[in-house]
């Protein structure tokens, strides 16, 4: 049998029978090198997945957390001085620290609301439309019920209109604007901010 046949046979059998000591040593070095290369690729791939996956997952949490995680209970935030409010709605942003599995971000906007005063009553409305969550606006619009131009709330996505008391005037929203609980302490208006489900008749 030729030397060439002796060299190829052990590779087919994946064993060491028939190899010289030098050949075995050479093959062992090759195997060790292959294992080292495999480990490098595996570790590198793992780091790559973490590096790419973490921000995606973190972003997903950031998008969904305010809507779903905080809807359960809500929390009171100091929003405005009582004497700065009037019948004209004013929009305010709620800020709080955000935290997920990877990072903590202080002082982030987590939502917004409208505040207005009607007589002695302070009214707070969530700024997201109950239909599908678009941002409700306030301004002078044609009242679909009376035909007159007047201050209203309206949703530009599907042309829904709400009165300044948050009641539906027309459109596809399944309920009135979502009211938020308020209280006044030391001249400051505090609002219990929480999120609600979209597209349902009951908030």
Q: Give phi and psi for 100, each to the nearest 5.
A: -130, -165
Residues whose CB is less than 8 angstroms from the CB of residue 115 and which lie 6 or more positions away in sequence, other chains included: 79, 80, 85, 89, 90, 92, 122, 123, 124, 182, 189, 191
Give 104-144 as a DSSP string. EEEEEEEEEEEEEEETTEEEEEESB-TTT-PBPEEEEEE-T
Which of 58, 65, 82, 134 is in the footprint of ligand FES by CB under 6 A? 134
Using CB under 6 A as the binding rule, whether residue 169 contacts ligand FES is answered as no
Q: Tell me the chain's radius of gyration from C-alpha atoms.
A: 32
Nearest alpha carbon to residue 164 among 134, 185, 189, 138: 138
Which of 113, 155, 169, 180 is in the footprint of ligand FES by CB under 6 A? 155
Using CB under 6 A as the binding rule, whether residue 167 contacts ligand FES is answered as no
Which of 171, 176, 194, 203 is in the footprint of ligand FES by CB under 6 A? 171
Using CB under 6 A as the binding rule, whether residue 127 contacts ligand FES is answered as no
Judged by CB under 6 A, the chain residues 75 through 104 that form the site for ligand FES are none
**Among the residue ranges 1-9, 13-21, 118-126, 150-158, the one whose residues contact ligand FES (CB under 6 A):** 150-158
Contact assessment for residue 141 and residue 132, using Cβ atoms and an 8 Å cutoff: no
Task: Tell me 1's DSSP state.
Answer: -
162 or 193: CB nearest ligand FES: 162
12 or 202: CB nearest ligand FES: 202
Nearest alpha carbon to residue 1 among 24, 18, 20: 18
**Among the residue ranges 5-13, 81-89, 153-161, 176-184, the one whose residues contact ligand FES (CB under 6 A):** 153-161
Using CB under 6 A as the binding rule, whether residue 58 contacts ligand FES is answered as no
Using CB under 6 A as the binding rule, whether residue 67 contacts ligand FES is answered as no
Residues that bind ligand FES (CB under 6 A): 129, 131-132, 134, 155, 157-158, 160, 171-173
């Amino acid at each position: 049998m030729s030397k060439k046949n002796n060299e190829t046979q052990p590779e087919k059998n994946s064993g060491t029978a028939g190899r010289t000591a030098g050949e075995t040593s050479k093959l062992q070095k090759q195997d060790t090198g292959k294992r080292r290369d495999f480990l490098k690729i595996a570790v590198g791939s793992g780091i790559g997945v973490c590096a790419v996956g973490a921000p995606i997952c973190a972003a997903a949490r950031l998008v969904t957390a305010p809507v779903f995680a905080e809807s359960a209970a809500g929390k009171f935030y100091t929003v405005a001085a009582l004497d700065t409010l009037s019948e004209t709605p004013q929009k305010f942003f709620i800020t709080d620290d955000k935290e997920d599995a990877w990072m903590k971000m202080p002082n982030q906007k987590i939502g917004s609301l409208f505040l207005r005063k009607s007589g002695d009553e302070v009214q707070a409305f969530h700024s997201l439309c109950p239909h599908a969550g678009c941002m409700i606006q306030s301004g002078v619009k044609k009242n679909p019920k009376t035909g007159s131009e007047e201050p209203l709330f309206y949703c530009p996505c599907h042309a829904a209109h709400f009165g300044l008391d948050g009641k539906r005037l027309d459109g596809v929203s399944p309920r009135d604007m979502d009211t938020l609980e308020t209280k006044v302490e030391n001249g400051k208006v505090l609002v219990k901010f929480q999120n609600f489900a979209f597209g349902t008749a009951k908030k």
